[in-house]
Structure 1
Amino acid sequence: MEAFSDGVLAIIITIMVLEFKVPEGHDWHALVGLGPKILSYIFSFVYIGIYWNNHHHLLHMVRTMNGRLMWLNLLLLFWLSLVPFTTAWMGESQFAATPTALYGIILMVAAFSYWLLQRAILKQHSGDSSFVVTMGKDWKGKLSPLFYLTAVLTAYVSPWLSGVFFVLVAVIWFVPDQRIERALGSR
């Protein structure tokens, strides 16, 4: 499952970069028009990287692979596979309200899917295991959906303000989730 997921995430990043078209000009000024596309690509690249990193750590906690985990993992990959579309639309529209809001919705649903996968893996561990205790302290997982929802709602007020909330989520998750490494170390 990890190898399949890694492949899907690599394809997602590849699709995003293929959205770039070579500019018409031959100087630095020709890249100015690509600014919104480059910025949306950077957002999404960082997000996919964060998911890849945390997903990798999370899968180390799987005790028994089963159909439920495989379907929940596929659900997460489905939502992440929509990131290139919303990234392209958001960049192409220069961060117009609706594409920016849809970007936030996709990220919010992906976060919810990750949470479902995490909960299913937690059920494989006893209630008193260090992993369950450690993962229960999930302030990042609780704060992220709130920031995503705020980003969606503020997209219609100011897409740039919405972008601030996307950056905040990325910042809090940029440092990989150390809870799993601590739980693995305590075994």
Structure 2
Amino acid sequence: MQTNRFETFFDAILAIIITVLVLKIPQPTAPTPEAFLELNSIFLAYLISFLVLYNIWHANHNLFKIVDTIDNNSVWIYGTMTFVITLLPYFTIWIANHVYSIPAETMFGLIFIVTHILNVLATKAIYRSNPYNQELYELNFDSYYMSTPMIILIIGFILTYTIYIPGIFVSCLISVVLWIVLGRLLRRRGNGNR
């Protein structure tokens, strides 16, 4: 399959998810700064989810600039990832309204873990379907650094189930920032610091 049509489709889905995500943010109960600040957990949850979606878009945009075709395995993995990330607005609002709820924390964390795993699998499938693309292999997304966000998420689960209930929420924020930073560093290294 040509990547330009697929990228357009995937971009549209991400744009819709981000729109739905922002529409889920309620208005302040009063036109005061205090009422606005009462929504801090909602805005933080929105920021985390937005950064995940933006990072997925940015990484795929850069990936599809150097790849012309993808195989059916990649399409199916991306389809599964699309299904998972369409659930993000639902779980974002749930965690935003119930930061100290273990079920809300668990589901929010699971969405991020599954998304991360599917993103890694999709990238590996694209590598396999483009075995002679030298520019793709120079990026080296197989770096062990890319497992760091997953380790932080697992630490968040341990914290949530032992001593600090919002541990997953906090670990999601830290891991998405690391995911973005590590992705940028690996792309720079792959592009020869351009």
* Cα 1:97–1:120 shift into 2, 3 Å: same
Cα distance in structure 2, aligned partners of 1:180 and 1:24: 44
Q: Structure 2 counterpart of 1:168, which letter?
A: I
* Cα deviation digits, residues 142-165 of structure 1 (max 9, x gap): 222222222233223313333332
Aligned counterpart, 1:98: 103
1:54 has 2:59 as partner: yes
Q: Which residue of 1 aligns with 2:114?
A: 109
Question: What is the RMSD of the two structures over their aligned residues, measured on CA atoms?
Answer: 2.4
Q: CA deviation at 1:135?
A: 1.6
Match of 1:177 among 163, 184, 188: 184
The one-character-per-residue Cα deviations of 1:20-70 (angstroms, maximum 9, x if unpaired) are 222221211112321211111111111111111112112234342332221
Of 94-103 and 73-82, more deviation after overlay is shown by 94-103
* 1:121 equivalent in structure 2: 126
Q: 2:174 aligns with which of 149, 168, 172?
A: 168
Q: Matched residue of 1:123: which SS?
A: helix
Q: Kindly, what percent of the aligned residue pairs are identical?
A: 23
User: Using the alignment, how far apart are the partners of 1:39 and 1:103 within structure 2?
Assistant: 13
Amino acid of the structure 2 residue aligned with 1:171: V
Runs of at least 4 residues off by over 6 Å: none
TM-score with structure 1 setting the length: 0.85
Count of equivalent residues: 185
> Cα–Cα, structure 1 residues 153 and 65, in superposed 2: closer, same or farther, change >3 Å?
same
Q: Which runs of 5+ in 1 are unaligned?
A: none
Structure 2 unaligned runs (5+)? Answer: 1-5
TM-score (norm 2): 0.82
**Which of 15, 20, 27 lines up with 1:10 in the alignment?**
15
